[in-house]
Amino acid sequence: MAGTIAPADIGSYWLASCDDDLTLRPALAGDEVVDIAIMGGGFSGLWTAWFLLQKHPYLSIAIVERQFCGFGASGRNGGWCSPRFPINPSALIRRFGVATARAMLLAQQAMVEEVGRICEQEGINAHFNPAGVLTLARNVAQLPSLRKSFEAYGKLGMEAGCELLSAEQAQELVHATGVVGAMRLDAGGTIHPGRLVRGLARALERRGVRIYEATEVLRTSTGAEPALVTGGGTIRARRAVLIAGEAYLTGQPGYRRRLIPMASTIMLTAPLTAGQWDTVGWRGGECLSSYVQTTNYLTRTADGRILFGSRGAPYRYGSDMREAALRENANFDWIRERLFEWWPSLEGIEFTHKWAGYLGIPRDWLPTVHFDAGRKIGHSYGYTGHGVIMSAICARALAGLVAGGGPGPDAPYIRKQAPNWEVEPLRWAGIRYVQNAFLRMDLAESAGQRPPLDAGLAKKLGEP
C-alpha cells in the first residue's frame, strides 16, 4: 500500500527475528462503531487495550495503526525491561518527595515482573530474562554519580535490591576496559521487544480486538460521538477515543510542542564465539550501561549477540521525523568505535544489523496520562526511552481512568498535558547546543581532561 514502510527497510533485528511474518493486517475499509477506538499500534495502544479488557472483557475495541504494529519505538528499542523511571531517583525525590518517588519505582519493578508473567500466560516467547541492571563507572570521574544513585535508593528504603560494587567486583562481572566500580539493581531484565509487541497484538486479536494497519488517522473528533477519521473510513467510539502515538504525536495538532522526537541509534554484532564471551565476561546478561551524558545501553541477546545503543541523529528543525535522517546519521561509526573501546578484543567482529528510531521527550521528562470524560478522549505519552515498561504502567493508568478509577495521588504523571517546549528556532538552537555540549563533556571525561567551561549550564538545561 502506498506510504507504508516495509519492516526490512527499518533494519531492526527485533523485527527481523520476531517470530511473525509481518504481513500487513487489512486496512480499515468502511465505517465502524466500537466502545473504544485507539490510535497507535505500538506498546502504548496495545497495553491500553490489554488493561481495558482485564477490567471489562466484553468491551469492543479497535486499534488503528498508520504502518504496522511495532513500527515505531516498540520495534526499534534496546530490549530493556527497565525498572528505572524516566527521571532519576535523586530528581524524583527532589520533585515529588520520598513516598511518591518510592511508589513510582516500585511500580516499575512490579511491572517488569508482570510483563514476564503475561508473556508466560499468553505463550509469547519474548526471551524474557529478569537478569537485573548493571551500571558501570568506567573512570573515576563517574564514581560520584554512581554513589549518588546508590544513596538515593537508600533514601527510598530500597537498598535491599541495590548493590554498590568495587572495581574488582565489577570487573569480575564485565571485563570491559576502565571499569572502576558499578551499581547493580536486582530488578529489571531484558526482552525481545519485537516478539513482545507482535505477540501482544495477536493476544488481543484472540480476545476480539480489531487491528487495522496501513491506516492513517487524519483527524479526531470528541464529544458525544468521538471518532477516529481515516482515509478508509471512520471509527466512532461509544465510550472513548484514546491517542497513543508517542514520538509520532508531534505530527498531530495539539501535540506539536508537547514532545520532541529524539533519535537513538543501535548496532548489533554477529553471535559471539565462546572464546569471545570469555574475554567479554557479562555472563549474567544484565541490562548494561555506563555513566555518560550521551547515553549508552547494551543488551545481550538470547542468541549471543551484543546490542550497543547510543545517541542518535541530531534534533531536526521543527521536530522533523524523516526516516531518511535515521538511516543517514553518522553515529553508527561512533557506536562501532565505542564497542571496540569497551572490548578491544572484539576488533573486527561483524555487525549484522543497524537501525535508529525516534522516542518522545517531554519538556520536564515526566510522562503524561489523561482522560477527559466529558470530551471522551484520552492520551498517554512521554516515556523518554523507557517505554517497554513505562508504556505498560501508563496504559494501565489510562485504562483505569477510562473505566472510572486509577492510581491514587502517588502518580504525578496523571495530568492534563505536559508543558510546552519552546517555539522554533529557540527549540532547535537549545537542543542542538545541549546535544553538542554533552558530547564534548563525554569526550573530555574519556580523555581525562577537565569538563568544558559550559558543563554546568548544559546540565542545567538538559536534565530534568
Cβ proximity of 55 and 79 under 8 Å: no
Q: What is the pLDDT of residues 92-104, one digit of tens each?
A: 999 999 999 999 9
The pairing of beta strand 217-221 with beta strand 162-165: unpaired
Q: Where is average pLDDT lowest: 2-6, 199-203, 224-228, 322-326?
A: 2-6
Q: Report which secondary-structure segment, H or E, holds 378.
A: strand 377-381
Q: What is the pLDDT of residues 111-124, one digit of tens each?
A: 999 999 999 999 99
Confidence of residue 386 (pLDDT cuts 50, 70, 90): very high
**Model confidence at 408: pLDDT above 70:** no
- Three-state DSSP state, 190: strand
Residues 6+ apart with CB under 8 A from 388: 43, 74, 77, 79, 80, 81, 82, 115, 191, 193, 196
Cβ proximity of 12 and 72 under 8 Å: no
**pLDDT for the residue 439:** 84
Q: What is the pLDDT of residues 440-453, one digit of tens each?
A: 988 888 778 888 88
Query: In this structure, is the dihedral angle defined by the CA atoms of residues 334, 340, 343 and 348, taken in order, positive or negative?
Result: positive
Share of the chain above pLDDT 70, in %: 98
Residue written as grid cell 537498598 = 159
Cβ proximity of 164 and 146 under 8 Å: yes
**Model confidence at 438: pLDDT above 90:** no
* Ramachandran assignment for 111, one of left (phi > 0), alpha (psi -120 to 50 degrees), beta (any other): alpha
**Measured between alpha carbons, how far is 463 from 85 in angstroms, rounded to an integer?**
14
Residues 6+ apart with CB under 8 A from 278: none
**Measured between alpha carbons, how far is 150 from 183 in angstroms, rounded to an integer?**
7
Domains defined along the chain, listed by start: 128-191+261-362 (3.30.9.10), 426-462 (no CATH)
Cβ proximity of 304 and 277 under 8 Å: yes
Confidence of residue 1 (pLDDT cuts 50, 70, 90): very low
Q: What share of the chain is helix, strand, coil (3-state, %, to 5)?
A: 40, 20, 40
Instruction: Please report the beta strands in 222-373, taking only residues with DSSP state E, as ranges in sequence order.
Output: 227-230, 233-243, 259-269, 287-290, 297-300, 306-311, 351-362, 368-372
Query: In this structure, is the dihedral angle defined by the CA atoms of residues 135, 458, 311 and 264, taken in order, positive or negative?
Result: positive
Cβ proximity of 64 and 234 under 8 Å: no
DSSP character for 20? S
**Measured between alpha carbons, how far is 13 from 305 in angstroms, rounded to an integer?**
11
Residue 69 Cα to chain centre, angstroms = 15
Q: Report which secondary-structure segment, H or E, holds 112.
A: helix 98-122
Instruction: Name which of 176, 188, 148 is nearest 164 in CA terms.
Output: 148
pTM over cut 0.75 = yes
